[in-house]
C-alpha cells in the first residue's frame, strides 16, 4: 500500500532538506526579491528593465538578483553589455500560487465572520 497523502503519512524531512527549504523560503522572504521575480514571470528582463520596472536602485537590483541566482531561482545570459535574467525554477511560481490560495481562503473566512 502506498502511504496516505496526508501530513501524518509523510516521512519527516532530513535536517539537510529542512535547511535547504529554509534557504529557499529565506530567499523569497524579501519584498524586493518577490517584486523582481514577479517582473520576470512574463519572461526574461535585463537589469535596467528591472530597475525601471521596480524603481529600485541599480546596485540593489544587482545585489538581490545575485542572491536569487546563488539560490538557483533565477539564471542569466549575457548579450553584449546586457544581462538577461529569467526564472530558473518553476517552483517559484508554484510557491506563490500556494500562498495566494491560502490568502484567498483566509479572506473568505474573515469576510464570513461579519455576515
Instruction: Tell me which residues touch DNA (CB under 7 A).
Output: 26, 30-32, 46-48, 51, 56-67, 76, 78, 80-83
Residues 6+ apart with CB under 8 A from 88: 69, 72, 73, 74, 75
Residues composing the chain: 115
Closest by CA to 35, choosing from 23, 45, 50, is 50
Nearer to its own copies, 8 or 80 (CB): 8
Asked if 44 and 86 count as a contact pair (C-beta separation under 8 A), the reply is yes
Which three cell numbers mark 9? 503519512
Least distance between DNA and beta carbon 89 (Å): 18
* Subset of 54-83 contacting its own copies (CB under 8 A): 72
Nearer to its own copies, 5 or 81 (CB): 5
Residue 112 binds which entry of its own copies, DNA, none, CB below 5-8 Å type-dependent: none
Nearer to DNA, 26 or 104 (CB): 26
Amino acid at each position: 500500500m502506498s502511504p496516505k497523502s496526508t501530513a501524518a503519512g509523510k516521512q519527516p524531512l532530513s535536517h539537510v532538506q529542512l535547511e535547504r527549504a529554509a534557504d529557499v523560503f529565506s530567499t523569497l522572504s524579501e519584498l524586493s526579491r518577490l517584486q523582481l521575480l514577479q517582473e520576470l514571470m512574463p519572461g526574461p528582463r535585463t537589469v535596467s528593465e528591472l530597475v525601471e520596472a521596480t524603481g529600485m536602485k541599480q546596485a540593489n537590483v544587482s545585489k538581490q538578483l545575485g542572491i536569487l541566482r546563488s539560490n538557483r531561482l533565477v539564471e542569466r545570459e549575457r548579450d553584449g553589455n546586457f544581462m538577461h535574467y529569467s526564472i530558473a525554477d518553476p517552483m517559484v511560481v508554484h510557491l506563490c500560487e500556494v500562498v495566494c490560495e491560502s490568502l484567498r481562503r483566509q479572506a473568505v473566512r474573515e469576510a464570513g465572520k461579519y455576515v
